[in-house]
Amino acid sequence: MVVKSELKLIKSLQHKKYRNEHGLFVVEGKKVVEEVINSKIKLHKLFAVAPEKIQLEGVQTFSISNKELSQVSSLKSPNGFIGVFYIPKLEEEIVSDWILVLDGVQDPGNLGTIIRLCDWFGVTDIVCSLETVDCYNSKVLQATMGSITRVNIHYRAIDSFLNTTKLPVFGTFVDGASVKDSKLPKKGIMIMGNEGKGISDLVAKFCTDKLAIPQFGNSTTESLNVASATAILLHEIRR
């Protein structure tokens, strides 16, 4: 049986304020919970409706009822497992060959998908503006499908970060040069902008190169979804 104080804590972690206050975040679902437990991220407590269905050496699983789980879950249909983890502390130095910078990405699904894409393409560090959605948001975590354990997400003032780098800085703009025809270096920074406004003027001035994804056909679509655009650009980086 879960005590009321534990339920209150888990429920509060749906909010960024309390995640930061307690240094904890919540992961739901057996597959993702197991993946996070098997990573370097430290477990605080694991709860399951059927504890016998999750067998992890050295990990104690506490029983939670379906009613209690529905009270604290962020999912419409909770699937029986919920883990509370410590937010990891990251190294200040970033040593990736390519760094993805997100300038005000707001949609949790977009950020989660971008984290998963970085995992797929071997980009181990993302630098997010302070206005970017929190990576420990429950919807972000669901969309990452466990990739949150293999990608470092840093939240910083983007202008200060870019002011200190010696790497070439690429930004995505409607009037940029076609990425298909551009020769990309082995190391660099790629900036993706806000879903509606694109890259801010403050950040744009740091771009050494402007890129665009060429459009084919007669579509009247003005732009691509930021996650879709990121997939194309990461493929070009690795190609």
Contact partners, residue 131, CB within 8 Å, separation at least 6? 104, 106
Average the pLDDT over 222-235 and give the result.
93
Do 140 and 166 share a domain, yes or no? Answer: yes
Instruction: Find the CATH number of the domain harbouring 71.
Output: 3.30.1330.30
Which pLDDT tens digit goes with each residue over 41-94? Answer: 999 999 999 888 887 778 889 999 999 999 999 988 888 999 999 999 987 778
The mean pLDDT of the chain is 93
Do 123 and 79 share a domain, yes or no? Answer: no
pLDDT for res 220: 67
* Residue 93 falls inside a structural domain: no
Kindly state the percentage of the chain with pLDDT values over 90. Answer: 81
Do 78 and 102 share a domain, yes or no? Answer: no
Do 67 and 105 share a domain, yes or no? Answer: no
Do 47 and 106 share a domain, yes or no? Answer: no
pLDDT for res 1: 62
Show which of 86, 113, 144 is a domain's final residue.
86
* Residue 192 falls inside a structural domain: yes
pLDDT for res 174: 87
Instruction: Find the CATH number of the domain harbouring 189.
Output: 3.40.1280.10
pLDDT for res 95: 77
Do 115 and 220 share a domain, yes or no? Answer: yes
Do 156 and 219 share a domain, yes or no? Answer: yes
Do 102 and 77 share a domain, yes or no? Answer: no
Q: How many domains does the chain have?
A: 2
- Which residue segment(s) compose the domain that 20 sits in? 4-86
* Residue 92 falls inside a structural domain: no
pLDDT for res 121: 97
Does residue 204 or residue 95 have the better pLDDT? 204
Do 72 and 108 share a domain, yes or no? Answer: no
Average the pLDDT over 12-29 and give the result.
96
Do 54 and 103 share a domain, yes or no? Answer: no
Do 76 and 131 share a domain, yes or no? Answer: no
Do 80 and 41 share a domain, yes or no? Answer: yes
Which pLDDT tens digit goes with each residue over 165-199? Answer: 999 999 999 889 999 999 999 999 999 999 999 99
